[in-house]
Structure 1
């Protein structure tokens, strides 16, 4: 009778015969007729990571937690039960970490003294009360000293205070001098100023070479000023709504409301073109 291992002990176990995780996933993917790109698209696991997992390289997963998640996701996508593969992963890579007991942590947190924060609200209230009290004290003292000065400077006994009449003068109206406006405009240019005094008016203004200076609608109160070296051409859509100054001089022509006027002005005294 020989002493040693029996023939049954020499036989490999069933677990040793099973394929690796990567090989099992790769074979199941091929059997399902799927490519790595298709698995990556359906699982959102990047293509290099799928290739690495099929080669049993889990270093690109970013840790054991992510590796388990990728194994489950890929296995479900190719129709494979993920739990045996996850158990195999845990057996080959040291298993899941033991959960940390919650009771000691809770006790430590309960025993730890709580730091008291400074009460900024109370400090601000106290500062405001102090400021208000100081201002009130200052106002009361100022009022008392003002009363004493009034008594000292008042009329003597038996005298009647005579009310003093304050002379009021009306402000003098200063009318603008038309010559000032004329003097303000340059002599070597044509200056045209438009002001809408009616409801609104469409305006178009061009320089002597046809350059468009303005084209649009102005409403009541709007003003525009145009200048050119030689000539300014105007089209007034509603001339009666316009007050017109040319080279500092007001144009007295009576335009009718709604009337379209085409005007041209040059340097010097304004002339209607």
Structure 2
């Protein structure tokens, strides 16, 4: 009499789930390592369900959460399954009351007598200077009044009011402000995060990493910009001020190239 495998035994392991999602997204281990800053040996070990290289369960949870997001998975079910297979996550310990009291107790400051003395000296010098200046000003006014007594006041002419310079009118379109002899690309992670790589015409790396939802990057070059988008359906792409309506599908990897001319996929 034979016993078949249970549904739990047929379910793929945590590492296998991440590996399958990475392959489905069209990403290599090197690309995932570059996007997440998790070293290649650790990525390979996690895909083989070997968490000994992570340095502990706390770091293993962090690596699982980062890798899952990079390949388009929800990390929470994987974290719950990881904790369940290891007997559950330990409960956090509360901080000692004495430590909290010491931490929030304000520090008593000593009076700064040096600053007080300096302020007093400055006030005295200022008062003496003001008194001398005020008395001297009265004597000068009296002398000028005696010299000019009986003189007819000179006619005064009012200068014409100066007209304020008109402000420049704003441009009707943001596209008109873009340089015509360069290619300008703006990428926004609108519907989710995406791994992106951007290079200029000389092959110099401009960006290589994970663009989280809501973040944007702008690149400019005189000849060409080459792009690799790890989750093309999640990004909004503008080339030379014009929106590219259909960049790619969700989870798909797209390799694109653009020049200063009209937007065209490379």
TM-score normalised by structure 1 residue count: 0.34
What is the TM-score when the length of structure 2 is the normalising length?
Answer: 0.35
Choose 1 or 2 for highest CA Rg: 1
